[in-house]
Amino acid sequence: MTIKKTELDGVFLITPNIIKDIRGHFFESFKSDSFSQSLIPTKFAQENQSLSKKGTLRGLHYQLNYPQGKLVSVSKGCVVDFAIDIRVGSSTFGKSLSFVLDDIKHESLYISEGFAHGFYVQSDEAVFNYKCTESYYPEDEYGINWNDFDLKLNLEDKKPLVSEKDQLLPKLKDVHKDLLPTFN
């Protein structure tokens, strides 16, 4: 597996070495030694999986008091995954990156604490996997509106399927700085 830093400090793209033969394929999706060498956490508190249909947008979420680093991947389908730096004081504050994650390349992302995260489903359906460094606390869930022009998300679909709760999320510029993580 290869692990590459991205333009956003704290976001890593993980590309597995896929071994294929007539039976199918095999790859390592997690290897503690490789992650530790790249300074990616290896202890996860919770693992989640979602099934979403085409056109669904989930996010952009973060936790403030119990921040989560997330190792994300797709085991079925194709999504565009978004990471947005919302760390007050970071030189890349407000910057976003998007990555295509699918069941062909089997790449994954590690998104550190201090980032808002979300994804958009491009395939008929997608099974999305998240390993989180902290448990989910509903009372600590915050978010940024996906439709915030300043984020410059690369999303061609102007009317994705978005939960009612996520439609009501504020734009980043409207979030009080006390409700955002700080850059260490």
Phi and psi torsions of 14, nearest 5° = -115, 120
User: Is-catalytic flag, 61?
Assistant: yes
How would you label 81-97 residue by residue, b for 16+ Cβ within 10 Å and e otherwise? Answer: bbbbbbbeebebebebb
Contacts of 144 (CB under 8 A, 6+ apart): 60, 62, 84, 86, 116, 151, 169, 170, 171, 172, 175
Catalytic residue (choose from 61, 62, 106, 110): 61
Catalytic residue (choose from 62, 110, 120, 130): 130
162/167 Cα distance (integer angstroms): 6
Catalytic residue numbers, as ranges: 61, 130
